[in-house]
Amino acid sequence: MLSKSAARTFFVAGTGVCAAAFLGLTFDTLAKVPERSKAAQMTESVRRGHDLWTDNNCMGCHTLLGEGAYYAPELTQVVNRRGAAWIKTFLKDPEAMFPGKRKMVRYDFTDRDRDDLVAFFSWVGEIDTNGFPPTPVYRMTGGPAVGAAPMKGTPPPTFEQVCVACHALGGKGGAVGPALDGVASRYTTEKLHTWLADPQAVKPGTAMPNLGLSEADRGALVDFLMLQK
């Protein structure tokens, strides 16, 4: 049994040590915040993206840094996962990218709004979160042509960030649409242009969305696709 005064000393000393450890760790954490949150990279565009994020209540459906609602995907690493071009195309018209299957709201954002949101997501993705969220293992549901030869030429960024989500080429890519190996022997330049400009007009009801590609983007894509003989 401790005597009354020993118990008091024990209590006071214990409280003192724990309080000191608590203050020390708090101070240490706060000192690391600017470094870990990459505060220096918080540009005007990042701030505007953040305001769009809060003003539109994106958190009503999404989580960011683990906080928010669980209806829609976690977005902390969305830029790593999808790439800037994919996100901008998606935000323009989410439904077009996944016809009839998706529930993401279509907002009337300007190009600048979309740039700001991507800047915000890029910044969030750079925060040192001690490894949150863990990298998921993606499983392919089929798709790439068996024994496909490597792709020819260098794919334009749009191809790597948007098209590969649904199409395989050279043995890699998504399985929503057909593999694009040998596409140049099935299509002419003109037919590819018409298809990419508006797939729905060529084949009403097709699962390939109208991606709102610019003339320049389409040109680069068609040049690249025509190399895939």
For ligand HEC, which is the closer residue by CB, 3 or 110?
Answer: 110
Q: Is 79 in the site for ligand HEC (CB under 6 A)?
A: no
Residue in 8, 32, 36, 102 binding ligand HEC, rule: CB under 6 A: 102
**Cα-only R_g, the chain:** 25
Q: Is 220 in the site for ligand HEC (CB under 6 A)?
A: no
16: which residues sit within 8 A by CB, 6+ positions away?
A: none
Tell me the number of residues near ligand HEC by CB under 6 A: 48
What is the DSSP code (8-state) at residue 41?
Answer: G
Q: Considering all CA atoms of the chain, what is the largest pairwise distance in Å, rounded to the nearest integer?
A: 95
- Segment contacting ligand HEC (CB under 6 A): 8-16, 20-28, 137-145, 180-188? 180-188
> How many degrees, rounded to 5, is the angle at CA 84 between CA 79 and CA 89?
120
> Closest Cα partner for 162 from 105, 227, 210?
210
Residue in 6, 201, 207, 216 binding ligand HEC, rule: CB under 6 A: 207
- Segment contacting ligand HEC (CB under 6 A): 10-18, 21-29, 80-88, 142-150? 80-88
For ligand HEC, which is the closer residue by CB, 37 or 143?
Answer: 143
**CA 77: distance to chain centroid?**
6
> Closest Cα partner for 148 from 68, 228, 89, 30?
228
Residue in 46, 163, 168, 184 binding ligand HEC, rule: CB under 6 A: 163
Q: How far is CA 124 from CA 59, 205, 215, in A?
A: 14, 37, 32
Residue in 94, 125, 171, 219 binding ligand HEC, rule: CB under 6 A: 94
| Per-residue contact string for residues 114-143; x = within reach of ligand HEC by CB under 6 A | ---x--------------------------
